[in-house]
Structure 1
């Protein structure tokens, strides 16, 4: 499905970064792991700020567009085609992890999220924005499946080892290409891995 969606010449979610990420990018240190990176808009934005970024996605087509976008902006990003159901990030390696609209089934989250926590360095930051359960039935983006939508409760349960610097649900205006447009209900989370005692 994703190869098909990204086969469009246009960048289907635009080339500008997610605004929540852009607002808090100054909190992030490299190297950065971006899961479900798609066509590269967030990885390229972070690379223009001087960060070393690895974008992981299941779509080769999306990541080829990500590399083209990086080239057009004069920056380098690393990309890896991987199924998030099987992807294992390096342990204790990343200064930051970003998850923007990475809507995953519960079984994949239960396997992946503990690995993401483990792959952060002490003091590292995980920044996540996803559609919330309140988005169900709205036509402005996100999956039509409540299990793949997020909530504050799910975040607290699924990232137990991260200290929440910010955790909120809100409605906000989103303009990200043709598939994410209009008023949307989202969960925003910035969690920090505790420093080793």
Structure 2
């Protein structure tokens, strides 16, 4: 059982069942009806929302417990989400598969971040859109969610470097209020990205 399996192994949804605010407000940057890859999707709240909005959705996470809860939520909402158990810091997903990709608070150690980001970016077709919201290192001072150390948080300059070949439609580094279940509770410090993939 992974650390995330243990975290998700309670009856309730620890990050709630409602879509992340950033995704709710910006998912329409992805073409209508486009196939979306959801990375580090946890218990599935964002994937299920996107399926409700008419998108084919494939969700990835390293927690089998999280994937099972996502399936339960999808069944309750009467939609289908393909859930795949995968370690996104070691296992490649398909290349040029999706019309769009999202990742919300997918936190991994610094040494694994380049592989994870290459996985997300590589999965999207040229012209597809990537939406991401993660905690910045500044989040450590807010204590409203996220990893216990900055080692698994993100730096804005790294994200801009990973997507340097793409068209950046939106980039935000600053405060945002997020109330998502019991683990994200109030004002925090985030990095947001909307990027259109411009090259393979």
* TM interval, short-chain normalised: over 0.9
Deviation at 1:195, TM superposition (A): 6.3
Aligned to 2:195: 191
Aligned to 1:62: 66
**Deviating more after overlay: 40-49 vs 87-96:** 87-96
Matched, 1:135 2:139: yes
Aligned to 2:26: 24
**Residue ranges of structure 1 left out of the alignment (5+ in a row):** none
Deviation at 1:28, TM superposition (A): 1.4
Aligned to 1:115: 119
Contact conserved, 2:20 with 2:104, CA < 8 A, in 1? yes
Contact conserved, 2:5 with 2:66, CA < 8 A, in 1? yes
Aligned length: 196
- The aligned runs of 1:39-54 (5 Å cut-off) are 39-54=43-58
**Residue ranges of structure 2 left out of the alignment (5+ in a row):** none
- The aligned runs of 1:61-100 (5 Å cut-off) are 61-100=65-104
**Deviating more after overlay: 72-81 vs 30-39:** 30-39
Aligned to 2:169: 165
- The aligned runs of 1:4-15 (5 Å cut-off) are 4-15=6-17
Distance 1:5 1:146 in 2: 19
Q: Residues 78-127 of structure 1: CA distance to partner in whole angstroms, max 9, x if unpaired?
A: 00011112221211111111110001222222223223322211111110
Distance 1:64 1:116 in 2: 22
Find runs of 4+ consecutive structure 1 residues off by over 4 angstroms.
none
Distance 2:9 2:82 in 1: 20
Task: Quote the RMSD (CA, aligned, Å).
Answer: 1.4
Deviation at 1:27, TM superposition (A): 1.1
Aligned-partner SS, 1:136: helix
Contact conserved, 1:6 with 1:62, CA < 8 A, in 2? yes
Deviation at 1:77, TM superposition (A): 0.2
Distance 2:143 2:151 in 1: 17
Q: 1:173 to 1:112 in 2, by over 3 A?
A: closer
